[in-house]
Amino acid sequence: MKELLNTKKPALISVGLPVFNSRKIVWLAMEGLCNQKKPPAWELVICEEVHKYQTGVAFFNGYVKKLQKAGCVRVLYIELPKWVPLPKKWRCIGRYIDPASKVFLLHAADCYSFSTRLADSYKKVAVEGYDWFDTLGYFYSFKTKKLYIYHKEHMTNLNMSFKSEFARNIPASSKRKSVDGFLYRYMANRTKGFRRFTDTTIHQDGIDTHGYNNISIKRPMTNGKKFTTVNTKFEQTTIPAYVIQKIRTL
């Protein structure tokens, strides 16, 4: 475990970033975090196993200055000796978040967060009191080279966040599929009057991707109940040009 940044300021938002076999794509998550606009003080807790395709602490250390400019007050890198199921990684991350944290974000290695994700999550969860917050949004498939919109208001959607008190007490589980649903049910079943909010805005400066993810690699992008192909081109969004260019090279 290595603390790459610690300004000694309390973090009100915790971003959990589990990483495995993500060396080619995790830059996308980091760029999105570095481009956040006016979030409350936040921390990034990364958890990665030792393995052949490990990204490594040096890569994340290279982003520290940019993260700090974006309001990050602490960066923690947790290295696990061997692979563990995702719920156990979330449980591990939750145990190391700042005691002052009010909001916990589930951040995938293959997603570029829209610029107000942290600020919006804090407003909905910490200020307005929702237990769970998520959004709809764009998806890009590396296989088809097309943009889609995820439009189904499902039990769990995109850009998920919830109260940090839940993150500190995630139960142990060896589930390998439907992990987001597992977390949602854990919270909803234990909270009287559980409140969730789904933002149906399609943010033009954020995107989830499909093709380099480990758990949802078989996600059916042709499923019209969840995904709709759009005529929108990357250049018509407000995702930074350098991010689009790098995505196209993968």
What's the pTM? 0.95
Instruction: Tell me the percentage of the chain whose pLDDT exceeds 70.
Output: 95
CATH value of 2-134+157-198 in 3.40.980.10, 3.90.550.10, 3.40.50.2030, 3.40.640.10:
3.90.550.10
Average pLDDT in the chain:
94
Residue whose tokens read 């977390």 = 183
pLDDT score for 10: 98
Give the C-alpha separation, 154 to 99, whole Å.
31
Q: Is the pLDDT of residue 222 over 70?
A: no
Q: Is the pLDDT of residue 200 over 90?
A: yes
3 state SS of 4: strand
- Tell which phi-psi region holds residue 71, choosing left (phi > 0), alpha (psi between -120 and 50) or beta: left
CB 203 within 8 A of CB 135: yes
